Amino acid sequence: MAGIDFRGVNHLALVCKDMARTVEFYSGVLGMPLTKTIEIPGGGQHFFFDCGNGDSLAFFWFPNAPEAVPGVSAPAHRPDQGDIVSAHGSMNHVAFGVSPEHIERCVGALRDAGVDCTDVWNHDDSEWGVAREFTDDVYVRSVYFTDPDGISLELAAWTRALGVGDVRHEPRSLAD
């Protein structure tokens, strides 16, 4: 739509099972400042965390929300542990940008906090999309983990600017 002056993501709103546990994980473990809290009529809550660059990650807590269905409402596994398919309209994962110089340190910090995470993945354009070693072909380095509700999270560090040559594939549909 022409005429919209996009300024990034204001916030992404997810649903958690336990707001106190969510605050402890996102503020206590990941270090995201809690910036806004809202009580919702009917007993719910809506809390916002600063995830950098003026962007926010928000969570709803509803006392009567249905349970998550792994493999439907979210991936059933981390990328290194199995199938990452999730249903149409679902949120597959949230990737937070981090500095390429600090990606290795992020793994250590997560593990020191007791968070089970992957090693650093070097994403490239090879057949499998990931390289064992960091090379000039790597465009992003990632670490994957989940929050206490099983929400798939990623710390992602761009290693080079993307350009016209990075858009090479035609979009597909089930009709193809």
* Structure confidence by residue, pLDDT tens digits, 62-112: 988 888 888 888 888 888 898 888 877 788 899 999 999 999 999 999 999
CA 102 to the chain's CA centroid: 17
User: Of 4 and 85, which is predicted with more confidence?
Assistant: 85
Q: What is the pLDDT of residue 106?
A: 94
Look at phi and psi of residue 53 and say left if phi exceeds 0, alpha if psi is from -120 to 50, else beta: left
* 120-127: average pLDDT: 91
Taking only the tens place, the pLDDT of each residue in 138-169 is 999 999 999 999 999 999 999 998 888 888 87
pLDDT band (50, 70, 90) for residue 4: low
**Exposed (0-12), middle (13-18) or buried (19+): which is 16, by Cβ within 10 Å?**
buried
> If you average pLDDT over residues 40-58, what whole number do you get?
91
For the CA atoms of 131, 133, 139, 140, the dihedral, rounded to the nearest 10 degrees, stands at 90
pLDDT at 25 over 80: yes
CA distance 39 to 97: 29
CA dist., res. 122 & res. 137, Å (int):
9
Q: HSE-up of 149 (CA within 13 Å, CB side)? A: 25
Q: Which residue segments constitute the domains of the chain, with CATH numbers given?
A: 7-66 (3.10.180.10), 91-161 (3.10.180.10)
Tell me how many degrees the CA angle 174-164-161 measures, rounded to the nearest 5: 110
